[in-house]
């Protein structure tokens, strides 16, 4: 189920994000007060379909975790609000509900057996490729989910899948031919690639100081914290083989590979051992915290660190910035240790002196100077474009795989994408830190009708048609079915 969704996500307008075993619940989400008259536990209604608070929390948590993985664990509630995860979550559930209303009208039915079969396919609930109910129940318990809530999400997903499959439309032959023609347009191009090596930076002191005087308010020291830290290490904590097996059995759903498949105890042994040691050491860390507060033991070290320094997690920084000087935080996990932290002092940002900021000033000055100089040079080269001083390509298409020297493969592909979406015979295209000045010398059609190209074109046409159809269908359904929200902030 999950792998199917990941595979087809970029082609579907509606995607229902359901269980990932890496899911870490984001907890209760506060959206605002309920409106009187709302059904208990219901946060919104779309047509005849209710959206429950439990369903929203589950979907929110999964979306939160997806973003957290994308941001490499750097997401917190403040960033989540900035991104608008609550609004995205509701939008997804509302689109799903619109389709479920239509599915009701069409009489689309999914029975319990189909839901169970889909549940049994989830690799993370399997032991030796067979569904393991104890693992499934352990997952539900750890996430504080009811089975009926989780299985209701699967049920809705299957209904939507059936509906979308029913509405799938393939492209006509003439549509395939139009796209084939567009992909077959080829250009012979004369081009020059300009980069920072074409610019000589005049880096004299007076210019740097003038740049700093103009922008010095941007150069400030970081906000810093002086912290006393008491470390509680877990290296010496002993764990037995039987303890590892029992702990893994209760938490196996947390150990998955990059493809979402559950790892065996042997494969995850290092991580399982680390997690179990942390669990067993927690009480000792709490005892040390109490002793430290009473002055019976000393700190391990004192550090002055920038705000949001990688030494501490986002969760810990979130706590620190909300506390006053002399606050002592309860033990928090950092890597394989627990840290009891006391806030000794807060050092506010100040404007840097020139010598302090000089390295940053030089970097920013060079970046701006090179950017402006490249733009000026590119305009001059384009105005006086000389084919004798340019590289002449063979006939290239949007799908050309060959590298256009001196560009690398990635930059070549990006250049061609921008070239074939431009309507200019000659112009300037920026790619990362390079600027390409080009002129189209000749154009012709190069039809490539091999089976692979035909299949690619047919799939592209089908995807475009279905994407467009689903987008317009949702607009129509949005007008047909009323969307009522019973809470604020979604």
| pLDDT higher than 60, residue 268 | yes
In the DSSP assignment, the letter for residue 220 is: B
Q: Tell me the pLDDT band of 260, cut-offs 50, 70 and 90.
A: confident
pLDDT tens per residue, range 186-219: 899 999 999 999 998 877 777 888 999 999 999 9
Q: Tell me the pLDDT band of 346, cut-offs 50, 70 and 90.
A: very high
In the DSSP assignment, the letter for residue 253 is: G
Q: 434 by DSSP, 3-state: which?
A: strand
Residue 202 vs residues 133, 365, 376: alpha-carbon distances, Å: 70, 10, 16
Alpha helix ranges (H) inside 107-172: 112-120, 133-142, 147-167
pLDDT at 450: 60
Rg (CA), the chain: 30
Q: 238 by DSSP, 3-state: which?
A: coil
Q: Tell me the pLDDT band of 3, cut-offs 50, 70 and 90.
A: very low
pLDDT tens per residue, range 425-453: 999 999 988 999 999 999 887 666 665 56
What is the chain's length? 490
pLDDT tens per residue, range 390-429: 999 999 887 788 889 999 999 999 999 899 888 899 999 9
What's the rounded Cα separation, in Å, for the pair 174 and 291? Answer: 79
Residue 45 vs residues 15, 237, 244, 251: alpha-carbon distances, Å: 19, 52, 46, 36
Q: Which fold has domain 2-167+469-485?
A: Triger factor/SurA peptide-binding fold (1.10.4030)
CA angle 463, 466, 472 (to 5 degrees): 135
Q: Tell me the pLDDT band of 2, cut-offs 50, 70 and 90.
A: very low
**Could you check whether the bond before residue 406 is cis, i.e. omega within 30 degrees of 0?**
yes
Nearest to 365 by CA among 198, 193, 197, 218: 218
| pLDDT higher than 90, residue 156 | yes
Domain positions in the chain are 2-167+469-485, 182-205+353-445, 221-347
pTM of this prediction exceeds 0.75: no
What's the rounded Cα separation, in Å, for the pair 54 and 176? Answer: 45
Q: 312 by DSSP, 3-state: which?
A: coil
pLDDT at 29: 42
Nearest to 103 by CA among 168, 49, 170, 42: 49
The four Cα atoms 56, 62, 63, 67 give a dihedral, to 10 degrees, of 150
Q: Tell me the pLDDT band of 114, cut-offs 50, 70 and 90.
A: very high
What's the rounded Cα separation, in Å, for the pair 207 and 362? Answer: 10
CA 227 centroid distance within chain: 32
Enclosing H/E stretch for 412: helix 409-419
The four Cα atoms 295, 285, 316, 65 give a dihedral, to 10 degrees, of -170
Q: Using an 8 Å Cβ cutoff, are 112 and 120 in contact? A: no
Enclosing H/E stretch for 42: strand 42-46
Give every CB contact of residue 114 below 8 A, 6+ residues apart in sequence.
158
* CATH code that applies to domain 221-347: 3.10.50
């Amino acid at each position: 189920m999950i792998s199917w969704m990941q595979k087809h996500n970029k082609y579907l307008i509606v995607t229902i994000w359901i269980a990932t075993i890496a899911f870490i619940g984001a907890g209760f989400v506060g959206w605002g007060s309920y409106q009187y008259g709302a059904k208990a536990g219901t946060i919104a209604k779309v047509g005849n379909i209710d959206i429950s608070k439990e369903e929203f929390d589950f979907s929110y948590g999964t979306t939160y975790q997806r973003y957290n993985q994308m941001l490499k664990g750097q997401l917190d509630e403040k960033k989540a609000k900035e991104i608008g995860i609550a609004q995205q979550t509701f939008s997804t559930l509302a689109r799903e509900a619109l389709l479920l209303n239509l599915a009701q009208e069409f009489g689309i039915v999914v029975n319990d057996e189909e839901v169970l079969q889909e549940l049994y396919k989830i690799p993370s609930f399997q032991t030796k490729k067979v569904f393991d109910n104890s693992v499934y129940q352990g997952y539900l318990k750890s996430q504080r989910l009811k089975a009926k809530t989780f299985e209701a999400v699967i049920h809705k997903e299957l209904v939507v899948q059936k509906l979308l499959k029913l509405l799938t439309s393939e492209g006509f032959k003439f549509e395939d031919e139009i796209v084939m023609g567009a992909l077959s347009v080829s250009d012979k191009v004369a081009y020059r690639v300009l980069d920072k090596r074409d610019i000589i930076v005049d880096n004299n002191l007076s210019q740097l100081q003038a740049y700093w005087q103009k922008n010095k308010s941007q150069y400030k020291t970081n906000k810093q914290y002086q912290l006393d830290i008491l470390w509680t290490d877990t290296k010496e904590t002993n764990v037995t083989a039987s303890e590892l097996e029992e702990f893994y059995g209760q938490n196996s759903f947390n150990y998955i590979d990059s493809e979402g498949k559950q790892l065996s105890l042997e494969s995850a042994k290092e991580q399982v051992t680390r997690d179990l040691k942390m669990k067993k050491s927690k009480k000792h860390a709490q005892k040390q915290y109490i002793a430290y507060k009473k002055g019976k033991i000393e700190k391990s070290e004192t550090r002055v660190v920038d705000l949001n320094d990688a030494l501490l997690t986002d969760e810990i920084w979130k706590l620190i910035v909300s506390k006053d000087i002399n606050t002592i935080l309860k033990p928090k996990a950092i890597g394989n240790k627990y840290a009891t932290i006391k806030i000794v002092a807060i050092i506010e940002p100040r404007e840097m002196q020139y010598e302090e900021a000089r390295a940053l000033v030089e970097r920013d000055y060079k970046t701006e100077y090179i950017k402006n100089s490249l733009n000026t040079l590119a305009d001059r080269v384009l105005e006086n474009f000389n084919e004798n001083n340019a590289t002449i390509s063979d006939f290239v298409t949007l799908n050309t795989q060959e590298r256009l020297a001196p560009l690398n493969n990635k930059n070549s592909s990006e250049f061609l994408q921008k070239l074939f979406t431009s309507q200019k015979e000659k112009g300037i295209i920026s790619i990362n830190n390079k600027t390409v000045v080009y002129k189209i010398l000749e154009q012709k059609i190069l039809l490539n009708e091999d089976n692979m190209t035909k299949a690619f074109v047919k799939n592209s046409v089908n995807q475009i048609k279905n994407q467009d159809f689903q987008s317009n269908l949702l607009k129509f359904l949005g007008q047909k079915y009323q969307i009522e929200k019973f809470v604020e902030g979604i």
